[in-house]
């Protein structure tokens, strides 16, 4: 049995979304953030010592880190539907964007949020430089999505579950204005039935 440990307003939304895209059965265990600090509650450390979200359990195996979890579920349970195989033309691009999402995009986005003071405290003197780098990334992604509808190619893959998350947040921050291809991509993401249902479950 698959268990998804879900922390409110966090990356574990992706796991619920992916499970729905794949038609996987799962048990959901919810955690609320500490109201004072907005951090994960201490009980999450009983699931995994790092106490971060997302975490899944599949049988007696516990797995952390969004990219690894998404790759694991899509490869093990997707029967090739959302995970291109090495012989497929879109395989290399699939892997690139699946890993870019946390390794680069989320890293820049979170840094921009912290440095700008959006999450509390004063803006840091490095904030304009961080913001410039993140906006340049969004420009690059806009150019990529000008050539194809989904990150790997013509079909929606698990790489879009990874990349969709930071781009929906960027849209909510008003950072997609003038970046019409990314904006249209986010519209395609948020109109997917599995995405809509995942949001309902994650926020419920
Ligand atoms: N790169 C990691 C990031 C994990 C992470 O920082 N998760 C955040 C939620 S989005 C978290 O658990 N924050 C609560 C805390 O640090 O107390 C992943 O994608 O799994």
Average pLDDT over residues 108-128: 95
Note whether 112 and 30 are same-domain residues.
no
Number of the ligand 1 atom closest to the C-alpha atom of 106: 1
Q: How many domains in the chain?
A: 2
Torsion (CA) 112, 118, 123, 126 in degrees, nearest 10: 0
Q: Kindly state whether residues 26 and 75 are assigned to the same domain.
A: yes
Q: Are residues 182 and 198 in the same domain?
A: no
Mean pLDDT of 28-40: 95
Q: Quick one: pLDDT band at residue 197, thresholds 50, 70, 90?
A: very high
Strands 27-31 and 2-7: parallel
Query: DSSP code of 123?
Result: P
Confidence check: pLDDT of 22 > 90: yes
Domain interval for residue 166: 91-192
Q: What is the pLDDT of residue 184?
A: 98
- Distances in whole angstroms, Cα of residue 142 to Cα of each of 13, 25, 132: 24, 35, 15
59-76: pLDDT as tens digits? 999 999 999 999 999 999
Residues 153 and 125 in one domain: yes
166 alpha carbon – ligand 1 mean position (Å): 13
| pLDDT value at residue 102 | 98
List, chain by chain if needed, residues with CB within 6 Å of any ligand 1 atom: 7, 10-11, 39-40, 52-54, 65-66, 102
| Distance of alpha carbon 63 from alpha carbon 69, whole angstroms | 7
Same domain? 166 vs 136: yes
**What are 28's strand-pairing partners?**
4
CB-CB neighbours of 109 under 10 Å: 21
Statement to judge: residues 9 and 29 lie in one domain: yes
Sign of CA dihedral 70, 55, 29, 2: positive
Cα end-to-end distance, the chain, whole Å: 22
Q: What is the value of pTM for the model shown?
A: 0.97
Structure confidence by residue, pLDDT tens digits, 120-174: 899 999 999 999 999 999 999 999 999 999 999 999 999 999 999 999 999 999 9
């Amino acid at each position: 049995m698959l268990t998804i440990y879900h922390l409110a307003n966090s990356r574990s939304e992706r796991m619920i979304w992916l499970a729905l895209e794949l038609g996987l059965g799962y048990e959901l265990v919810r955690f609320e953030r500490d109201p004072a600090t907005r951090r994960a509650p201490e009980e999450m450390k009983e699931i995994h010592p790092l106490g971060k979200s997302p975490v899944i359990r599949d049988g007696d195996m516990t797995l952390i880190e969004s990219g690894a979890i998404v790759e694991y579920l899509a490869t093990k349970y997707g029967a090739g539907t959302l995970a291109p195989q090495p012989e497929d033309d879109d395989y290399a691009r699939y892997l690139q964007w699946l890993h870019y999402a946390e390794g680069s995009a989320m890293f820049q986005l979170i840094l921009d949020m912290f440095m700008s003071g959006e999450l509390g405290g004063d803006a840091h003197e490095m904030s304009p430089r961080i913001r410039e780098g993140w906006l340049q990334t969004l420009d690059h992604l806009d150019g990529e999505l000008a050539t194809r509808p989904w990150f790997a190619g013509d079909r929606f893959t698990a790489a879009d579950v990874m990349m969709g998350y930071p781009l929906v947040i960027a849209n909510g921050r008003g950072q997609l204005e003038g970046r019409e291809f990314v904006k249209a991509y986010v519209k395609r993401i948020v109109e997917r039935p599995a995405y809509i249902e995942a949001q309902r479950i994650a926020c419920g």
